[in-house]
Structure 1
Amino acid sequence: MNHLITFLKSKKGMLGVIFLVTLMQVFGILLVPFFVAQIINVGIMEKDIDTILWIGLEMLAAAGITALISLWSSYLCADLASLTGKHMRELIFDKTQFLSISEFNQFGTASMITRATGDITIIQQTMIMITQLILPTPLIAVAAVVMTGMVSMELVYIPLAAMVIFMILILVLFKKASPVSRTIQARVDRVNRIVRESVVGVRVIRAFDNTSYEQKRSDDTFVAYADNVIHLNRIFAMFNPMVWAIMGITMVAVVWFGGYLVLQATTQIGSIMAVMQYTVIILMFLMMSAMVIVMVPRMIACLERISEVLDTAPEIADDREAEASPSVKGSKLIVFNDVSFSYQGAEEPVLRNLSFCCEAGKTTAIIGGTGSGKSTIAALMLRLYDIQEGQILVAGNDIRRMTQHDLRESISYVPQKAFLFSGTIAENLRTGKPDATDADLRQAVKIAQAEAFITTLEAGYQSPVAQGGSNFSGGQKQRLCIARALVKKHPFIFLMTAFQHSIIKPMRRCEVN
């Protein structure tokens, strides 16, 4: 919630304009019943056709101007909601770049996607409805009650009583709907996770003939989400007839007591019509506000979920005295000195007192069986995790004394599982070096032995790449990933391969320069 409030404070001018436009809109809405009363009291009762026509034109002009103001208000509200969504997504994206792998895994990929898309969409939609429906409601209620009192103080108690009953009903509705609304997004997370696993793992599901189990698991998840939504809809289903009942009783009361006042010659018929319309307007806006208020708990739940991400203090942070541009010291590009590391919750460390060095101009191979720590070494080198003991040096500089940007800027990386971004081949190759020339791309592609299949493509380097590179074979994706690393042209390259060996070859211990 604090992040939303901070953003709205930066948009005070825009909020002021929205409030002013809303005030104008309320004034225009309440003018129509006033003109109706004038037509009846002055025109119809006195059979003055000219007055009827003139007041009718005024009412038409007021309605037209109010419609234009409403369009302007809708545009401003939608613009504010869009800016809010853009700001929130930028905050989440920036935050994810600083979270460690373990912190990111705590939330999960499916949940992060839901928070950055569905949660923010709900916040945007609710904000639009709050500014368009809830914001005018208190203004309309106060103005309508005042104008009703000016017409007849005896009748002012009827809309006031209806408002009190309505507010009690809204409070009960809010209390019942809040717990249900708060659980919906958690169930959406699970739906997204199950759907994502079913789509990504479709080959494995078919290979193991596990369709029935996955279908049951998906059905159970969908049913749990549907039950939650149905429960919320049932609450609304009870609310609507009660609202219309209150509105009907209120109208009967206005006509009944208003008719009595007309017979007593203390109030005109047009005034009674105006009171009826004021009462209808109040109740209609209260009803629409109630529908929005029920969404507020869900919006708050979404804001809390987003705040969980934004308020997470990254366990890996740049040192305040980090060297912005570290200098190269000696010929040893990478040095692991008595490094020990264990994953959170693990009983045994993955690495214990590991020491080795990678010298300039030489190739260092780390070979081992599954779970021996090869991928962990690469993750530590990229500082996706922080070591518990020891020291890792890059070009003579402790990586904890370097900025994460400078550290990763100096590394080219080829993941074990080839991954490409949607776009074109050229855009993927320029991932680490946006200003790379076409000649740089061709040279890297030639070294990676990807030239043969790229030249067969009709669009060549501008050929489209599907999400995850799914329109290329595994070998083609791997070659493109290697070429992408070569285009970057940095001091050292990490190549993660699928080759495994049952024995970890001893590595030479080296002294730190």
Structure 2
Amino acid sequence: MIRLARYMRPYLWPTFFSVLFVFLQSLANLYLPTLMADIVDTGIVKGDLPYIYKMGTYMLFVTLAAGVLTVLANYLASKVAAGFGRDVRNKMFAHVETFSLNEFDQVGTSSLITRTTNDITQIEQVYMMILKMMTMAPLMCVGGIIMAVYQDAKLSLVLVVALPLLIVSILVLAQKGLPYFKKIQKKMDRLNLILREELTGIRVIRSFNREKHEIDRFDDANKDITHTSIRINQIMAAAMPLMMLIMNLSMVAIVWFGGLRINSGSMQVGDLMAFIQYAMQIMFSVLMGAMMFIMIPRAQISATRVNEVLDIQPDIQDTKSVGSSVNAESGLGVAFKSVTFSYPGAEKPALNDISFTARSGETTAIIGGTGAGKSTLLNLIPRYFDALSGSVQVNGVDVKAISVDKLRRMIGYVPQKSVLFTGTVAENIRYGNERATDEEIKEAARIAQANEFIQEMSEGYDSIIAQGGKNVSGGQKQRLAIARALARQADIYLLDDSFSALDYRTDARLRAELGRITQTAALIIVAQRVSTVFHADKIIVLDDGKIVGQGTHAELMETCTVYREIVASQLEKEELA
């Protein structure tokens, strides 16, 4: 938590005034019992009404001042804590945006969500409590003890017995409860993971009638976190009765011994009443401190989890050496030179000694069986991963020597799984180029064979796309994703199996349009269908992470056994189509 405290720097003045107001409020609260004692001992006992009115007015003024200070202190503390939480969430989100896919896999999406929401909220709440109590609790405790001793030193011996009992009880309960706080955060991660899988995979779940299984799986995780929460609450529930028992027994002792001292003439009634209030203030300040010290370790666990994410150094390190050489040799396209890549923990490389060139103005197709490494190869170009050896070059420059921002601005990317965002059709296409005009958006949609179905939608380009694109078909999603990439007007287009949901006629029309608009750009297509890659200028055949053939369709039919097998397996289907 100390490391995260640096995010409080923009709020130093509100923090200072919050602490100052709490300090003044505490002084006011400490002064009130003394005023009450004076009213009882001087005003009531002697029947001095003017004195009662006078001191009563003082008490009212002090009480109102304490109330105003409390409101101001709480407002500033809330403002500081909320601002802190907002800033840390922004920082964490921005940092996560720099992660490569490897870091996402390392932490887990569900855990990142929990850390960005629940964990930061825990820290935020503790900082707010600290601002409210870090001045009040010690001041009320120390000030209360001083004032209690001032009222009657001998009667204060009751507190010498009560306070250690109170502190020891709190420490014992805290020791038993704190281990559960760490467990509950991990179980929250697990619950989020299951919930996310069920929400995103609802169609698969329903298609296989696995609703009961998923309900049971969620119920198990929910019960697990519930049992842990109940155990924490059971421990914490024991705290209040125990604290109240110690406090009430202390009050009984104070009243008992105080009565004896009044009888002996060593103490006045007003002083005993003030002493009781000071004793209550002392004990409640100890309880406030205890609450703080119980919540701080819990927040420390959350802070550790947040810092773990902030400490992750992305594998993809950006560079500022965006030289003019990138533009000087434009038009060369993409080149792989002896590239090898392996996923962390994998037994063998996903790509092994890959070398080829995809030139601008040409269509380069990549084909191969499932798991051959096609998508992995594409992911190396925009630096979602970095090659372990060899180099990936864009326009003659290693991608590691180009800033990530500049590199990705040169690329129009269509992922294997088409992702659309909540908003209008036009907004989704403009996502690829925020400066694109309405005409450019419509042209991109026309080339992507999307214009026709968009015009049939109720609001045309202003029609709303539901979350995840659930109100459009798979083929329509693919065409909108392609239009989004085309709107970027990029130097390189990467299409990762983006024709799989299209019929053969739409596929053919789209490829014909792409061929015309990519005359000055490098077009790299990953595909499963032979018909999609048939007319490519160059076809790369991958098998088990290695290039087993490259050339035109005619050349590969003569030289590549793997390619002939792929063609043979699809020939009858495509002929019938």
TM-score, normalised relative to structure 2: 0.84
Task: Select between 361-370 and 112-121 the one with higher mean Cα deviation.
Answer: 361-370
Which amino acid counterpart does residue 187 of structure 2 have in structure 1? R
Q: Alignment partner of 2:471: what SS?
A: coil
Alpha-carbon contact 2:319-2:404 (below 8 Å) kept: no
After superposition, the C-alpha distances for 1:107-142 in whole angstroms (9 at most, x for unaligned) are: 111001111111111111222222223441001111
Q: Counterpart in 2 of 1:77?
A: 77
Which amino acid counterpart does residue 332 of structure 1 have in structure 2? L
Alpha-carbon contact 1:145-1:160 (below 8 Å) kept: no
State how far apart, in whole Å, the 1-side matches of 2:330 and 2:62 are: 81
Q: 1:439 to 1:2 in 2, by over 3 A?
A: farther
Q: Counterpart in 2 of 1:105?
A: 105
Q: Counterpart in 2 of 1:410?
A: 410
Which amino acid counterpart does residue 385 of structure 2 have in structure 1? Y
Q: Counterpart in 1 of 2:342?
A: 342
Q: 1:47 to 1:325 in 2, by over 3 A?
A: farther
State how far apart, in whole Å, the 2-side matches of 1:388 and 1:407 are: 19
Alpha-carbon contact 2:436-2:487 (below 8 Å) kept: yes
Pairwise mapping of residues 164-203 of structure 1 onto structure 2 (< 5 A)? 164-203=164-203
Question: 1:38: Cα distance to partner?
Answer: 1.9
Question: 1:321: Cα distance to partner?
Answer: 4.7
Question: 1:42: Cα distance to partner?
Answer: 1.6
Which amino acid counterpart does residue 398 of structure 1 have in structure 2? D
Alpha-carbon contact 2:19-2:73 (below 8 Å) kept: no
Question: 1:34: Cα distance to partner?
Answer: 2.1
Q: 1:263 to 1:224 in 2, by over 3 A?
A: same
Which amino acid counterpart does residue 528 of structure 2 have in structure 1? Q
State how far apart, in whole Å, the 1-side matches of 2:295 and 2:453 are: 53
Whether 1:303 and 2:346 are equivalent positions in the alignment is no
Alpha-carbon contact 2:342-2:349 (below 8 Å) kept: yes
Q: Counterpart in 1 of 2:528?
A: 500
Alpha-carbon contact 2:163-2:283 (below 8 Å) kept: yes
Q: 1:218 to 1:409 in 2, by over 3 A?
A: same
Q: 1:140 to 1:462 in 2, by over 3 A?
A: farther
After superposition, the C-alpha distances for 1:51-70 in whole angstroms (9 at most, x for unaligned) are: 22222222222222211111
Task: Select between 401-410 and 460-469 the one with higher mean Cα deviation.
Answer: 460-469
State how far apart, in whole Å, the 2-side matches of 1:2 and 1:42 are: 50
Q: 1:29 to 1:324 in 2, by over 3 A?
A: farther
Q: 1:29 to 1:325 in 2, by over 3 A?
A: farther
Larger radius of gyration: 2
Q: Alignment partner of 1:316: what SS?
A: coil
Question: 1:422: Cα distance to partner?
Answer: 2.3
After superposition, the C-alpha distances for 1:383-405 in whole angstroms (9 at most, x for unaligned) are: 11111221111011111111111
Q: 1:330 to 1:249 in 2, by over 3 A?
A: closer
Q: Alignment partner of 2:187: what SS?
A: helix
Question: 1:425: Cα distance to partner?
Answer: 2.8
Task: Select between 202-211 and 450-459 the one with higher mean Cα deviation.
Answer: 450-459
After superposition, the C-alpha distances for 1:305-341 in whole angstroms (9 at most, x for unaligned) are: 1111111122221246554873241642111112111
After superposition, the C-alpha distances for 1:364-393 in whole angstroms (9 at most, x for unaligned) are: 111122111110011111111111221111
State how far apart, in whole Å, the 2-side matches of 1:222 and 1:402 are: 47
State how far apart, in whole Å, the 1-side matches of 2:107 and 2:198 are: 19
Which amino acid counterpart does residue 143 of structure 1 have in structure 2? G
State how far apart, in whole Å, the 1-side matches of 2:2 and 2:340 are: 39
Alpha-carbon contact 1:424-1:461 (below 8 Å) kept: yes
Question: 1:20: Cα distance to partner?
Answer: 0.8
Which amino acid counterpart does residue 235 of structure 2 have in structure 1? I
Unaligned stretches of 5+ residues in structure 2 = 501-526, 531-540, 543-547, 553-577
Which amino acid counterpart does residue 286 of structure 1 have in structure 2? V
Aligned residues: 509
Whether 1:356 and 2:356 are equivalent positions in the alignment is yes
Whether 1:32 and 2:32 are equivalent positions in the alignment is yes
Alpha-carbon contact 2:325-2:397 (below 8 Å) kept: no
Alpha-carbon contact 1:424-1:464 (below 8 Å) kept: yes
State how far apart, in whole Å, the 2-side matches of 1:324 and 1:64 are: 69
Which amino acid counterpart does residue 62 of structure 1 have in structure 2? V
State how far apart, in whole Å, the 1-side matches of 2:424 and 2:158 are: 67
State how far apart, in whole Å, the 2-side matches of 1:368 and 1:412 are: 22
- Between the two proteins, what is the percent identity of the paired residues? 37
State how far apart, in whole Å, the 1-side matches of 2:323 and 2:149 are: 72
Q: Alignment partner of 1:61: what SS?
A: helix
State how far apart, in whole Å, the 1-side matches of 2:178 and 2:263 are: 48
State how far apart, in whole Å, the 2-side matches of 1:224 and 1:343 are: 33
State how far apart, in whole Å, the 2-side matches of 1:422 and 1:347 are: 40
Q: Counterpart in 2 of 1:87?
A: 87
Question: 1:253: Cα distance to partner?
Answer: 1.5
Q: Counterpart in 2 of 1:397?
A: 397
Cα RMSD (Å): 2.1
Q: Alignment partner of 2:327: what SS?
A: coil
TM-score, normalised relative to structure 1: 0.94
Question: 1:459: Cα distance to partner?
Answer: 4.0
State how far apart, in whole Å, the 2-side matches of 1:299 and 1:160 are: 31
Pairwise mapping of residues 257-336 of structure 1 onto structure 2 (< 5 A)? 257-319=257-319, 321=321, 323=323, 326-329=326-329, 331-336=331-336
State how far apart, in whole Å, the 1-side matches of 2:433 and 2:160 are: 67
Question: 1:471: Cα distance to partner?
Answer: 2.8
Which amino acid counterpart does residue 246 of structure 2 have in structure 1? I
Question: 1:155: Cα distance to partner?
Answer: 2.1
State how far apart, in whole Å, the 1-side matches of 2:324 and 2:67 are: 57
State how far apart, in whole Å, the 2-side matches of 1:235 and 1:140 are: 27
Q: Alignment partner of 2:154: what SS?
A: coil
Question: 1:241: Cα distance to partner?
Answer: 1.2
State how far apart, in whole Å, the 1-side matches of 2:485 and 2:59 are: 70
Q: 1:177 to 1:322 in 2, by over 3 A?
A: farther
Which amino acid counterpart does residue 507 of structure 1 have in structure 2? Q
Unaligned stretches of 5+ residues in structure 1 = none
Q: 1:96 to 1:247 in 2, by over 3 A?
A: same
After superposition, the C-alpha distances for 1:327-365 in whole angstroms (9 at most, x for unaligned) are: 241642111112111212222222222111111111111
State how far apart, in whole Å, the 2-side matches of 1:228 and 1:435 are: 51
State how far apart, in whole Å, the 2-side matches of 1:259 and 1:44 are: 18
Q: Counterpart in 1 of 2:380?
A: 380
Question: 1:227: Cα distance to partner?
Answer: 1.2
Q: 1:52 to 1:423 in 2, by over 3 A?
A: farther
Pairwise mapping of residues 467-478 of structure 1 onto structure 2 (< 5 A)? 467-478=467-478
Q: Counterpart in 2 of 1:432?
A: 432
Q: Counterpart in 1 of 2:129?
A: 129
State how far apart, in whole Å, the 1-side matches of 2:187 and 2:379 are: 32
Task: Select between 383-392 and 209-218 the one with higher mean Cα deviation.
Answer: 209-218
Q: Counterpart in 2 of 1:367?
A: 367
Question: 1:296: Cα distance to partner?
Answer: 1.9
Q: 1:254 to 1:324 in 2, by over 3 A?
A: farther
Alpha-carbon contact 1:445-1:451 (below 8 Å) kept: yes
Q: 1:320 to 1:456 in 2, by over 3 A?
A: closer
Whether 1:157 and 2:157 are equivalent positions in the alignment is yes
Question: 1:239: Cα distance to partner?
Answer: 1.3
Q: Counterpart in 2 of 1:422?
A: 422
State how far apart, in whole Å, the 1-side matches of 2:368 and 2:338 are: 19
Question: 1:269: Cα distance to partner?
Answer: 0.6
